[in-house]
Amino acid sequence: MELPTLLVVLSLVFFVAALYSSVGHGGASGYLAVLSFFAVAPSVMSSTALVLNILVAGVALVAYHRAGHLSFRFAWPFIVLSIPAAFVGGWLHVSDQIYHVILAAVLLVAAYRLAMAVTPGENPTESKNPSLVTALSLGGGIGLLSGIVGVGGGIFLSPVVILMRWAETKKTSALSALFIVVNSAAGLGGRFLKGGFEIGEFLPLVFVAFLGGLIGSHYGANRLSGFILRRLLAVVLLIAAVKLILTTL
């Protein structure tokens, strides 16, 4: 990749990392959208996104834990089956065409999730926890999909938790950060097992993602996040999804 193109990618990754980490997410769907614009191979896209996911979501996890928003008692039922499921998803072999179709669907969901993000006045109050069977099933299903595509799954888990009023926003963000870290690591493990781990020239993205994660998680855990920026990113994800669909047809 030429230097001017790499600088553009670095800038976009920094923006994605800062924005996603502000709500406890790793940003994999955003990284995948960025890389898809530059026709990066699916194996490189998914591996790179998962590595950055672990880094950025890990930074967010520490910030939310320090702020007192993380509850392991609440989180473990969602996680216990998601880890092996994400590993299996990362190990599975899917064609490039199928991968692009699934990724386009994931980006569309992510775009909707960002565009419809709750405002401070709409923050749901905490209610009762989900049943053990519900949490286990939800975590396992999201984990499998996450492993296949190369995302952490927080973009799917957090809206369900908010919609069902299982937790308030900060607690949900902390849960998402933990969910993303463990599932991204499991997904990478599955890819490594099948010999599909590739990142190569995208190692410089690690530094800018870490910096963006530090900034975004600090503001997300302690201050309000930017809703206008989320909607701008939603447009980017939508464009990337449409591009993938048109390329696949």
> If 0-12 CB within 10 Å is exposed, 13-18 middle and 19+ buried, where does residue 184 land?
buried
Nearest by Cα to 169 from 21, 15, 23: 23
Whether 149 and 102 have beta carbons less than 8 Å apart is answered as yes
Residue 237, domain extent:
3-248
CB-side exposure of 187: number of CA atoms within 13 Å? 35
At 138, which helix (H) or strand (E)? Answer: helix 132-149
Residue 125: its pLDDT value, please? 53
**Angle, alpha carbons 213-205-144 (nearest 5°):** 75
- Please classify residue 150 by burial: count the beta carbons closer than 10 Å to its beta carbon, then call 0-12 exposed, 13-18 middle and 19+ buried: buried
pLDDT at 71: 92
Count of domains forming the chain: 1
User: CB within 8 A of 63, min separation 6: which ones?
Assistant: 21, 217, 218, 220, 221, 222
The helix/strand/coil state of 203 is coil
Helix, strand or coil, per DSSP, at residue 38: coil
List the one residue out of 218, 226, 211 whose CA is nearest residue 67: 218
Nearest 5°: the CA angle 224, 126, 232 is 35
With vertex at residue 242, the alpha carbon angle to CA 238 and CA 246, rounded to the nearest 5 degrees, is 170
Alpha carbon distance 115, 38 (integer Å): 24
pLDDT in tens, the chain (249 residues): 677 888 888 999 998 888 888 777 888 888 888 888 887 888 888 888 889 989 888 988 998 899 898 999 999 999 999 999 999 999 998 888 888 888 888 888 888 877 775 544 445 554 678 999 999 999 999 999 999 988 888 888 987 887 788 988 788 889 999 999 999 999 999 988 887 777 766 778 888 988 988 888 777 666 554 566 667 667 767 877 887 787 776
- In this prediction, residue 149 carries a pLDDT of 87
221 contacts 170 by C-beta, under 8 angstroms: yes
Question: Which pair of tokens denotes residue 198?
Answer: 């590739």
Residue 94: how many CB atoms within 10 A of its CB?
Answer: 14
